[in-house]
A = this chain, B = another copy of it.
Amino acid sequence: MTDKYAPRPGETVLDAEVAPDAHVQFIGVIRTPFKTRDDCPRQGRFDGPECRIEVEARFVPALQGLEPGKRLEILYWLHQSRRDLLTQSPKSDGKTRGTFALRSPVRPNPIGTSLVELVAVDGAVLTVRGLDCLDGTPLLDIKPDRCGYSVQAPDK
């Protein structure tokens, strides 16, 4: 699925097929108030709106041990993004940069990552704050935040 956005001035398009090197499976769906790409904030915030992560029933046992109040890293598939831009000129400043110097959803592998705060767990549904993705985005993974895990504290 390629998005509706045509390349902007300065953007470079890769003329090559996507190699199917490995498969991802969608393990749930993310529900947010953001119905179009223009609705999505530039980045999620812990004081943003509550969103729902609906995990498929067969993966519910894998939620064991998740506790409200903890921070999680969420990975998801940016299903409306084209994958072939090597350089991009973001609408915010129009300045052309390499895709790997941007957190744009348009990437060779359109995988988004967000840090969220877990508000509640109810069966297969997590309520979280901190997401910035479209309503209906397929879920790929849930991990504990590495910061809560590590001897390596964030910069002060």
* Interface residue ranges, A against B (CB under 8 Å): 12, 14, 16, 18-27, 43, 45-46, 58-59, 61-66, 72-73, 75, 77, 79, 86-87, 96-103, 107-109, 111, 113-115, 138, 140-144, 146-147, 149-152, 154-156
Contacts and interface: CB of A to CB of B under 8 A. Distances in A.
Nearest to A17: B25
A109 B16 contact: no
B87 A64 contact: yes
B46 A152 contact: yes
Nearest to A46: B152
One complex includes copies of this chain to the number of 2
B27 A141 contact: no
Q: List the 10 closest A-B pairs by CB distance, nearest first.
A: A65-B101, A64-B98, A154-B154, A65-B97, A100-B142, A20-B23, A62-B99, A61-B86, A62-B98, A19-B25
Contact of A22 (B12, B73, B77, B114): B77
Contact of A24 (B12, B101, B109): B109
B63 A100 contact: yes
Contact of A97 (B27, B64, B138, B149): B64
B27 A24 contact: no
17 contacts: A14-B59, A19-B26, A20-B23, A21-B26, A24-B24, A27-B108, A27-B109, A59-B108, A63-B100, A65-B98, A65-B101, A100-B143, A102-B144, A103-B146, A103-B149, A108-B141, A113-B113
